[in-house]
């Protein structure tokens, strides 16, 4: 406290809270926990309530609570917000860069005047313009037609990543340009809330962010998970020292604006094209949607010399990809019985192009998820594709069509007719018949496509072999001959021989992957690795008691009982013996044994989406330093690494067991140490 002067204390609180927000939303390095922030915030609210004259435009308390707006007034931008011409191929990038050098003159064409470029992910959100006077946020507007937009200042004030006052020294006047967006984790939670309220889902994060900005009640906007990436400035009085776009990004970040951490400066057009191609593959690693890469000439002097044509700058281009969502008709919900007997519903769609790929089917998870989203056969739906994975249905696209009905899971297995069961506490319906034809077929598909990853033998080949009765088990796959394969249409002498050789070569897959492919209940990639490392060979594993199995990291009583029961079954023991006789590996190899390192003896769990690392890279980095990575939390866990949208059950278990929660920044520090 600073004496008893309310004005001095209010100023201190504003400064502390604004700095805390920047540390949290911009630097990703919180300086206080939520409880401490809330206590300071409540103190400031009390002061301003008692002394209304102390309220300032940059006070954190002014983010929420503006009166309802009857309409949005048009406001003219101080400088135009031009749109960008797009390019979609490497050739177009090269042609544009050549035109840039030509317009800059002979020195640039001959390489004597360097031309550098800045690349930034193109956020699929809503462009906005923020006006600051002497460092204080005074007005914000949508892009509109580029000359004037809608004044949405009260709504923008609710976005905590937008500073109400700049850090450090500030110019008399500056326009900050940025993109308001909704993170994918927040978008999922937002759509779940809409579904719970009986409302149709937002088709994509871009529509959701645009709609959130145009709410007449800023209190509603405040409930939406909006965030900001700042990407440039317009009018800038007193900022003559900024000579490049790259310098501008650093200046914005120093003033408390979040700028994209993946922005990069390159000095050749080859690097530009390479980065655009790389980001098309990497874009699904991000927790926000990008629909391309913005490419800008870095030098402001060169930008000025290049100018613009019809408000479209010659010094910038948007390299764009195909959209990742689309609207189509859900023709039918089909059921596929998996290798564990689970009934998996999936959607047969009217073919539609999503992200450059034609989609005709999508996953639907389970009955509970389908009815929560109110997805029905015959409806128009929003389908979303992330990377190369099977697309998902977000929800219905508008009102239900006449005659559609809520989905009901069948009461009997569609393949064998056995009555379906739904175990207590599970969301999946299951066929309890261990002799159900689906189990053998799906187990084979899992072995070929995932566990052994056999080149030249795909799901369609396995199904044809199954239908002809040539292969009905994993051992029969390894006894397959080229002559048998040549009975299948599409296989000649050479292709059949190559496929049989690829099958034989897969015998060297590690012990952990063999365990994953055996169709053991609840044994996936991670558990297979854990069991292989703990026991070392299949004999020790098969003869382990339930108590010994529970000693394995991440194996509780129920999983231990299921494992012990599986290995006691005579059919399963014969399967293991048969595969071992065929030459498959049932002993831990050198590549699977734990590495010695500074983290030897520690076990970590990763939950949520990490920004810097894909999950497998983080896991590999920890294991390279001797650590184990588990998929379940126990009292033996050294730490739970928490990313965006973490699993609530894992956090709850960690809290109950007293296991430390680590941020991604702490993971980086751990790996560096």
φ, ψ dihedrals at 218, nearest 5°: -65, -20
Of 122, 373, 619, 653, the active-site residue reads 122
- Contacts of residue 301, defined as CB under 8 A and 6 or more positions apart, other chains included, come to 243
8 Å CB contact between 317 and 93: yes
The HSE-up count of residue 459 (CA atoms within 13 Å, CB side) is: 6
Burial of 411 (0-12, 13-18, 19+ CB in 10 A): exposed
CB atoms near residue 309 (< 10 Å): 10
Burial of 660 (0-12, 13-18, 19+ CB in 10 A): exposed
3-state secondary structure of 315: coil
Roughly what angle, to the nearest 10 degrees, separates helices 459-467 and 437-446?
140
| CA distance to 79, 141, 233, 464, 626, per residue, from 75 (Å) | 12, 7, 17, 65, 59
8 Å CB contact between 164 and 137: yes
8 Å CB contact between 94 and 269: yes
Q: Are strands 312-313 and 264-266 parallel, antiparallel or unpaired?
A: unpaired
User: Which contiguous run of DSSP H or E holds residue 567?
Assistant: helix 557-568
3-state secondary structure of 426: coil
Name the residue among 426, 423, 429, 425 with its Cα closest to residue 408.
Answer: 429
Q: Could you confirm whether 122 is annotated as catalytic?
A: yes
Alpha-carbon gap, residue 171 to 329, rounded angstroms: 54
Alpha-carbon gap, residue 142 to 155, rounded angstroms: 11
8 Å CB contact between 104 and 284: no
Q: Could you give the residue numbers annotated as active site?
A: 122
């Amino acid at each position: 406290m600073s004496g008893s002067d309310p004005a001095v204390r209010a100023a201190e609180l504003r400064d502390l809270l604004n700095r805390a927000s920047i540390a949290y939303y911009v630097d990703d390095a919180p300086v206080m926990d939520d409880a401490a922030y809330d206590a300071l915030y409540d103190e400031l609210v009390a002061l301003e309530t008692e002394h209304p004259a102390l309220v300032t435009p940059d006070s954190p308390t002014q983010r929420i609570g503006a009166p309802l707006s009857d309409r949005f007034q048009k406001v003219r931008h101080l400088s135009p917000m031009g749109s960008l011409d797009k390019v979609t191929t490497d050739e177009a990038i090269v042609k544009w860069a050549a035109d840039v050098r030509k317009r800059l003159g002979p020195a640039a064409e001959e390489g004597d005047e360097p031309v550098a470029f800045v690349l930034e992910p193109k956020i699929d959100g809503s462009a906005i313009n923020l006006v600051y006077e002497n460092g204080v946020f005074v007005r914000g507007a949508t892009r509109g037609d580029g000359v004037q937009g809608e004044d949405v200042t009260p709504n923008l004030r609710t976005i905590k990543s937008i500073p109400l006052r700049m850090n450090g020294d500030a110019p008399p006047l500056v326009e900050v340009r940025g993109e308001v967006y909704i993170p994918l984790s927040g978008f999922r939670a937002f759509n779940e809330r809409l579904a719970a309220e009986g409302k149709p889902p937002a088709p994509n994060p871009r529509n959701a962010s645009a709609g959130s900005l145009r709410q007449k009640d800023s209190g509603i906007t405040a409930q939406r998970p909006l965030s900001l990436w700042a990407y440039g400035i317009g009018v800038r009085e007193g900022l003559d020292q900024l000579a490049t776009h790259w310098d501008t990004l650093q200046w914005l970040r120093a003033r408390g604006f979040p700028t994209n951490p993946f922005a990069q400066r390159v000095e050749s057009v080859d690097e530009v094209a390479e980065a655009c191609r790389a980001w098309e593959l990497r874009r699904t690693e991000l927790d926000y949607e990008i629909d391309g890469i913005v490419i800008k000439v870095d030098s402001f002097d060169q930008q000025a010399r290049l100018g613009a044509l019809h408000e479209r700058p010659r010094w910038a281009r948007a390299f764009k990809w195909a959209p990742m969502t689309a609207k189509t008709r859900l023709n039918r919900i089909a059921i596929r019985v998996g290798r564990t007997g689970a009934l998996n519903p999936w959607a047969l769609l009217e073919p539609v192009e999503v992200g450059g790929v034609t989609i005709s089917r999508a996953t639907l998870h389970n009955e509970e998820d389908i009815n929560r989203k109110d997805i029905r056969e015959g409806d128009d739906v929003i389908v979303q594709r992330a990377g190369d994975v099977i697309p998902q249905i977000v929800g219905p696209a508008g009102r239900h069509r006449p005659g559609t009905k809520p989905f009901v899971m069948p009461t009997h297995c569609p393949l064998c007719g056995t009555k379906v069961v739904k175990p207590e506490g599970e969301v999946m319906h299951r066929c309890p018949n261990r002799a159900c034809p689906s189990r053998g077929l799906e187990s084979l598909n899992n072995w070929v496509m995932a566990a052994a990853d056999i080149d030249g033998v795909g799901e369609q080949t396995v199904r044809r072999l199954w239908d002809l009765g040539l292969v009905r088990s994993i051992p029969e796959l390894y006894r397959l001959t080229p002559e048998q394969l040549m009975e299948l249409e599409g296989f000649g002498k050479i292709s059949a021989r190559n496929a049989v050789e690829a099958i034989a070569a897969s015998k060297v897959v590690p012990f952990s992957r063999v365990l994953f492919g055996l169709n053991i209940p609840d044994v996936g990639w991670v558990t297979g690795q854990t069991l292989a490392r703990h026991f070392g060979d299949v004999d020790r594993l098969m003869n382990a008691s339930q108590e010994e199995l529970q000693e394995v990291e991440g194996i509780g009583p129920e999983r231990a009982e299921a494992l012990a029961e599986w290995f006691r079954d005579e059919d399963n023991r014969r399967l293991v013996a048969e595969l071992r006789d065929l030459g498959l590996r049932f002993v831990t190899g050198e590549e699977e044994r734990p590495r010695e390192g500074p983290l030897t003896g520690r076990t970590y769990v990763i939950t949520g989406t990490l920004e810097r690392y894909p999950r497998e890279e983080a896991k590999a980095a920890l294991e390279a330093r001797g650590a184990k990575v588990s998929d379940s939390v126990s009292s033996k866990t050294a730490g739970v690494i928490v990313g965006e949208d973490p699993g609530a059950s894992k956090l709850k278990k960690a809290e109950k067991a007293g296991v430390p929660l680590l941020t991604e920044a702490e993971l980086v520090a751990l790996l560096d140490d």
